[in-house]
Amino acid sequence: MPLTTVDPTPALIVVDLQAGIAPHADASVIANNVTLLDAFRAQGHTVVLVNVAGGAPGRTELNPAGGAGAIPEEATVLISELGVTESDILVTKTTWGAFGSTDLHQQLQSAGVTQVFVTGVATSIGVESTAREAHTLGYHVVTVPDAMGDLAPEPHEAAISLVLPRLSQVASTAEVVEALA
């Protein structure tokens, strides 16, 4: 279903487009993120650029020893295409979701934000987790799949078809830009 409403105070949250992770997104995904950044900044709306510096320690099937460990600093640097500006909110997380290990919720509340648009990498990890947390926190959430990338097609497609429609309105970059205008 297309985007129905843009609230007066929306925010764009771009997840983990940083040196170590952005390569999992192809050029069109990066270009769509730049398009969205331009559109949000042009309207003076809140822009949040997220990067990740570490992960949760728990044991998992895929990592039975646990401990995701710290990410090397050079891999945490945001890609230059994002064109960081002084008015952007910069957030560094150490969990999958951008809210859990940061003060992002307080910052958005202070700015009166009621709706967040979520993009970035990886669709099924940082982006999905950020969208889930935002929905739980009471935000209206819009997710933009053509501005997301993942490490493999299956988790990307599954997140978009099985998860995101339950907790967000799913829209294309073009739809969002048109709705913002």
Q: Nearer to other proteins by C-beta: 41 or 105?
A: 105
Give 154 or 178: the residue with its C-beta nearer to other proteins. 154
For residue 42, the minimal CB distance to other proteins (Å) is 24
> Nearest approach, Cβ of 14 to other proteins (angstroms)?
19
Secondary structure of the chain in HEC code, one letter for each residue: CCCCCCCCCEEEEEECCECCCHHHCCHHHHHHHHHHHHHHHHCCCEEEEEEECCCCCCCCCCCCCCCCCCCCHHHCCECHHHCCCCCCEEEEECCCCCCCCCCHHHHHHHCCCCEEEEEEECHHHHHHHHHHHHHHCCCEEEEEEEEEECCCHHHHHHHHHHHHHHHCEECCHHHHHHHHC
Give 27 or 65: the residue with its C-beta nearer to other proteins: 65
> Cβ of residue 143: shortest distance to other proteins, in angstroms?
9
- The nearest distance, CB 85 to other proteins, in angstroms, is 28
Nearest partner of 32 among 164, 171, 162, judged by Cα: 171
Chain positions contacting other proteins, by CB under 8 A: 1, 4-5, 56-62, 64, 66, 95-97, 100-101, 124-125, 129, 132, 134-141, 154-155, 158, 162, 164-170
Closer by beta carbon to other proteins, 33 or else 130: 130
Tell me how far, at minimum, the Cβ of 154 lies from other proteins, in Å: 7
Pick 79 or 148: Cβ nearer other proteins: 148
